[in-house]
């Protein structure tokens, strides 16, 4: 399936800040129709066209070499075919396509470093291609992941701080040139660029704003919101009684020399030309004009200030490229497997033996815990707040539902509820139930709807107590599997679970691969856990081990802190897959309140949870991905093998 990567291509006309005017020959009008035309004429599997101010790019999937044919058709669409240079078009292939798209989405290839408009342009491109049915599994996977990577990078680094759009940088340039707040400023163009310029000027205290546009309908909101004082039609600019001190050109139009006569006689006028190609080409030597090239050069100081962020961003991108390739291959394999079966009945029949083992395992897990004094509970699956929010974006993994006209959420876990019950006097409890996560990087161990075995008990102060309980549970499960002839005797979990610290794990990874060092504070994730599983198996002769003392930066607010920045937490890895995550819980009200705020949540919505800590008592627990464990111990391909009706982004019927 990795051969699928060689089908992935990108043809890019990407211009630097110094030659933006040359992008015009490559602009594709009606690009959605052109993508469909390319797909139909050249039998492309998939096609998406992405357009920005400094680039036009065609992403496509094809097993046939059609690069030259695409460029020929592209040139025919150009309104300036004489200036269209095929040699200016760069061809990315395979993995390089994904790296390039991710760097583009993060603003690393924009005129202004960290440009925050790119993520929206990527979203619009994939949305349009999905509607037009020109995008399939491969391009949907990489474009959707590009958006996620962009959000993650911007939330985790300073790449998006400061003036990260040409509009904001241009206004910043103007301010640095000591333009007084009472200056008369004319903005030519009321599209998205002109609108943003007006808003940024207004934010910075400039009120004497006049906007000119071909029609006035686009200026109505700016007038209503009192962002500009006056709106005029383009052909009325020459009649302005009060001459502008500053002019922002913000349209795709190249003005004739006669249309720029209104500039004559205005002393010390400053012109910021945001057009691509440049609006003021015909008078570029007559006035003090700052075009996108000079604006881009001005923004370079941002790059110097954010050099460390660029390095971190590229490291994060490299990790996500690998995850995206795995996700893409996994989706293609699942699609091929579904097509292998002639009827759904055949598929269901093939899964029956696995479902029987799963049923028996759930029974053993329940019986083991009940025999140990645990009570089975059922907590809400529809909630009003995120129940296990991530640090960077509390809403990024959540599905919402309409609940009597209100937006409610499908739970990510029962974390908050099981803690409330433990604090309310229930000493030992468990729940075997569903949870939902909008997985953007599907892997063999991920589904959008899955089941977890959540365990919580009061009076726990040491991680060893939780790991010991887990060992008993896994022993009973594997003993039953052995007795049923599903596994060999040496797979029974009889011994104490091997334990290493997060720092130990980091050292093992970096010793194994010193050229690709993993930084402290990285959440290992799918690829690194798989690699770590192999290292530990070779070194300690075990497939099952726990990692303890994770940094507080990568654990949730309800996890108890230990010395320095360490936490009383643990994950358990089995054959390279994380199957358990657990911790001693934080019980200090003020620390919990602080953690909730730092996660970016509205703490008032979590008062129902915080109230349970008025009379706190020690407690802890874990969640066992019981199906993940079964997949690995039974040598199955993926979680889908244990579900009759698996749910993912693409698996929605039946």
Active site residues: 53
Estimate to the nearest angstrom the gap between the alpha carbon of 235 and the chain centroid.
45
Q: From CA 472, how far away is CA 575, in angstroms rounded? A: 19
Measured over the CA atoms of residue 589, residue 595, residue 599 and residue 602, the dihedral's sign is: positive
Q: Are 650 and 331 in contact (CB under 8 A)?
A: yes
Strand runs (DSSP E) across 250-317, as ranges? 270-273, 288-290
Minimal CA–CA distance to 446: which of 394, 397, 497, 507? 397
Q: From CA 14, how far away is CA 281, in angstroms rounded? A: 21
Find the largest Cα–Cα distance for the chain.
Answer: 96
Neighbour order of strands in the sheet with 55-61: 46-52, 55-61, 8-14, 90-93
Element spanning 623, H or E: strand 619-624
3-state secondary structure of 570: strand
Is residue 136 annotated as involved in ligand binding? no
- Collect all residues with Cβ–Cβ distance below 8 Å to 220 and sequence separation of at least 6: 231
Is residue 205 annotated as involved in ligand binding? no
Is residue 115 annotated as involved in ligand binding? yes
Q: Within 10 A of 490 (CB to CB), how many other CB atoms are there?
A: 7
DSSP string computed for 89-127:
-EEEETHHHHHHHHHHHTTTTSSSTT-TTHHHHHHHHHH
Q: Are 209 and 187 in contact (CB under 8 A)?
A: yes
Strand-pairing partners, residue 49, are: 58
3-state secondary structure of 645: coil
Strand runs (DSSP E) across 348-477, as ranges? 375-376, 382-383, 400-403, 406-410, 428-436, 449-458
Is residue 39 annotated as involved in ligand binding? no
Q: Are 414 and 451 in contact (CB under 8 A)?
A: no
SS3 annotation, 486-545: CCCHHHCCCCCCEEEEHHHHHHHHHHHCHHHCCCCCCCCHHHHHHHHHHHHHHHHCCCEE
Is residue 562 annotated as involved in ligand binding? no
Is residue 45 annotated as involved in ligand binding? no
- Collect all residues with Cβ–Cβ distance below 8 Å to 47 and sequence separation of at least 6: 35, 36, 38, 39, 58, 59, 60, 61, 129, 134, 135, 139
φ/ψ region of 220 (left if φ > 0, alpha if ψ in -120 to 50, else beta) reads: alpha
Is residue 162 annotated as involved in ligand binding? no
Minimal CA–CA distance to 36: which of 27, 28, 47? 47
Is residue 373 annotated as involved in ligand binding? no
Q: From CA 160, how far away is CA 143, in angstroms rounded? A: 20
Is residue 510 annotated as involved in ligand binding? no
Q: From CA 271, how far away is CA 280, in angstroms rounded? A: 9
Is residue 499 annotated as involved in ligand binding? no
Q: From CA 246, how far away is CA 640, in angstroms rounded? A: 62
Is residue 189 annotated as involved in ligand binding? yes
Q: From CA 629, how far away is CA 581, in angstroms rounded? A: 13
Annotated binding site: 110, 115-117, 121, 189-194
Annotated binding site for NADP(+): 189-194
């Amino acid at each position: 399936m990795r051969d699928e990567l060689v089908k992935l291509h990108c043809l890019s006309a990407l211009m630097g800040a110094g030659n933006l005017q040359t992008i015009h020959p490559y602009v594709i009008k009606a690009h959605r129709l052109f993508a469909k035309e390319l797909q139909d004429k050249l039998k492309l599997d998939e096609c998406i066209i992405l357009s920005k101010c400094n680039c036009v790019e065609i992403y496509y999937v094809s097993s046939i070499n059609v690069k030259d044919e695409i460029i020929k058709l592209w040139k025919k669409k150009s309104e300036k075919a004489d200036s269209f240079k095929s040699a200016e078009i760069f061809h990315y292939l395979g993995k390089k396509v994904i790296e390039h798209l991710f760097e583009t989405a993060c603003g690393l290839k924009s005129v202004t470093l960290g440009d925050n408009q790119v993520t929206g342009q990527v979203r619009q491109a994939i949305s349009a291609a999905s509607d037009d049915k020109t995008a399939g599994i491969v391009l949907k996977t990489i474009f959707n992941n590009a958006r996620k990577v962009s959000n993650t990078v911007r939330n985790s680094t300073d790449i998006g701080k400061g003036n990260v759009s040409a509009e904001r940088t241009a206004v910043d340039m103007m301010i640095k040139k000591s333009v007084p707040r009472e200056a008369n400023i004319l903005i030519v163009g009321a599209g998205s660029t002109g609108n943003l310029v007006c808003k940024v000027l207004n934010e910075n205290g400039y009120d004497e704003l006049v906007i000119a546009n071909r029609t006035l309908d686009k200026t109505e909101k700016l007038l209503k919101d009192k962002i500009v004082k006056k709106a005029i039609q383009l052909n009325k600019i020459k009649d302005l009684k009060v001459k502008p001190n500053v002019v922002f050109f913000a349209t795709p139009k190249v003005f004739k020399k006669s249309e720029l006569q209104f500039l004559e006689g205005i002393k010390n006028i400053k012109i910021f030309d945001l057009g691509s190609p440049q609006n003021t080409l015909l008078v570029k030597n007559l006035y003090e004009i700052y075009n996108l090239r000079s604006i881009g050069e001005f923004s370079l100081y941002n790059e110097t200030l954010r050099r460390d962020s660029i390095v971190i961003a590229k490291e994060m991108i490299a990790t996500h490229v690998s995850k995206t390739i795995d996700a893409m291959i996994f989706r293609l394999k699942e699609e091929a497997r579904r097509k292998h079966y002639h009827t759904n009945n055949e598929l269901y029949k093939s899964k029956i033996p696995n479902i029987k083992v799963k049923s028996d395992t759930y029974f053993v897990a329940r019986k083991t815990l009940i025999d140990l004094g645990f009570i089975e509970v059922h907590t809400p699956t529809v909630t009003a707040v995120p129940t296990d929010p991530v640090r960077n974006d509390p809403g990024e993994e959540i599905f919402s539902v309409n609940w009597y006209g209100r937006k409610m959420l499908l739970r990510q876990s029962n974390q908050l509820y099981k803690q409330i019950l433990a604090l309310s006097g229930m000493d030992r409890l468990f729940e075997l139930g569903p949870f939902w996560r909008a997985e953007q990087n599907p892997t063999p161990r991920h589904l959008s709807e899955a089941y977890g075995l959540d365990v919580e008990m009061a009076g726990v102060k040491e991680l060893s107590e939780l790991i010991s309980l887990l060992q008993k549970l896994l022993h009973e499960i594997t003993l039953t599997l052995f007795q049923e002839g599903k596994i060999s005797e040496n797979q029974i979990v009889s011994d104490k679970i091997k334990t290493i610290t997060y720092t130990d794990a980091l050292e093992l990874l970096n010793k194994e691969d010193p050229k690709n060092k993993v930084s402290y504070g990285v959440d290992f994730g799918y690829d690194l856990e798989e690699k770590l599983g192999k290292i530990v198996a070779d070194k300690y002769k075990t497939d099952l081990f726990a990692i303890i003392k994770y940094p507080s930066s990568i654990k949730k607010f309800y996890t108890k802190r230990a010395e320095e920045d360490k936490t009383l937490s643990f994950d358990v890895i089995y054959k390279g897959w994380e199957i358990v995550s657990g911790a001693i819980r934080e019980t200090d009200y003020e620390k919990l309140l602080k953690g909730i705020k730092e996660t970016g949540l509205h703490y008032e919505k979590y008062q129902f949870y915080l109230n349970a800590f008025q009379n706190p008592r020690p407690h802890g627990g874990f969640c066992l991905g019981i199906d993940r464990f079964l997949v690995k111990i039974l040598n199955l391909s993926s979680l889908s093998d244990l579900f009759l009706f698996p749910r993912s982004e693409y698996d929605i019927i039946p």
